[in-house]
Amino acid sequence: MKTTNRFESKYSKEILTFLKNALDEDFGYEDHTSKSYFKNNNNNSFKLITKSNCVISGIRLSEILIEKFRSNLSIKKFFSDGDQVKKGEKVLEINGPAYSILSVERLILNIMQRMSGISTLTSNLSKLISHTKCKILDTRKTTPGFRYPEKWAVLIGGGVNHRMGLFDAILIKDNHIDSCGSIENAIVTTKDYLDQNNLKIPVYVEVRNKEELDEVIKHNWIDRIILDNMSPFETKESVSFIQGSFPVESSGNINEKNILEYAEAGVDFISMGSITHSASIVDMSIIKV
């Protein structure tokens, strides 16, 4: 899991910010329910179990939560992120004062249910196209405030991260092209901006038809061509026309039913907003041992 380790290292600040904000949102300044019941700090053990088969995800993030914000607790893992877990299996055990455990119980469940759902869906889709060179990409269609865990879950499930946000890559889309008057104007304007500001970030360009593709391939400095809302047949023709000169991505209305056609058309990547915005959660419970 070297890729996911790099993700944690690269975005450590953002991950801690996410956890702090999530705790502030849920715990606030006091858990009155637990405080009214638990008057001592006796150690207790609670276990997390899954209620369906899944690719487990969010274990490391839960560890960080406890390490950084609940140091009076300890966590014992029985699986690692990316493992296949069967219904009813114990994934982890948390030990410490019941008051502290229950103060983070819901956040751990929210994290692991959501991330495991994304990792499971990404893994299932990746298996469908595993005989091709194509990799599945996520998008910016994420839950506000939850982007870093969701994109981490994509990696754990075997997918690849697209740009994290508007700040780490340029993606020239239809609205940019139409606002500039033509795809050529949009590309030239982008190149001028990069040169004037001495920026070294990836540039991806969406094309909607053969005419736009003809313009883009004149600019060999572009990092990736995105075939937007093309049919599998149009995609195959475009890949043949590009002849490996650029990495190629397909996007738009791709799902479990047609993903194989696009992957077999020869593209390098398929981007799918559904792996983050439409993944079902994996049901789990945290119960006292």
What's the CA gap between 129 and 254, in Å, rounded? 13
- Both 226 and 138 in one domain: the answer is yes
pLDDT, residue 4, reads 85
- Both 81 and 203 in one domain: the answer is no
- Render 148-170 in DSSP notation, one character per residue: HHHHHHHHHTT-B---SSTTS-E
pLDDT, residue 111, reads 98
- Both 32 and 112 in one domain: the answer is yes
What's the CA gap between 93 and 47, in Å, rounded? 4
- Residue 132, in any domain of the structure: yes
pLDDT in tens, 135-177: 999 999 999 999 999 999 999 999 999 999 999 999 999 999 9
- Both 265 and 284 in one domain: the answer is no
- The parts of the chain modelled with pLDDT lower than 50 are none
- Residue 52, in any domain of the structure: yes
What's the CA gap between 153 and 160, in Å, rounded? 10
- Both 106 and 132 in one domain: the answer is no
pLDDT, residue 94, reads 98
- Both 35 and 137 in one domain: the answer is no
pLDDT, residue 36, reads 83
What's the CA gap between 113 and 107, in Å, rounded? 10
- Residue 123, in any domain of the structure: no
Residues contacting 157, CB < 8 A, separation 6+: 55, 57, 82, 118, 119, 120, 121, 122, 123, 126, 275
Q: What is the CATH number of the domain that holds 75?
A: 3.90.1170.20
Structural domain boundaries enclosing 75: 2-118+280-288
What's the CA gap between 262 and 159, in Å, rounded? 16
Helix and strand numbers, DSSP H then E, in the chain? 12, 12
pLDDT, residue 37, reads 77
- Both 239 and 268 in one domain: the answer is yes
SS3 of residue 204 by DSSP:
strand
pLDDT, residue 2, reads 73
pLDDT, residue 35, reads 79
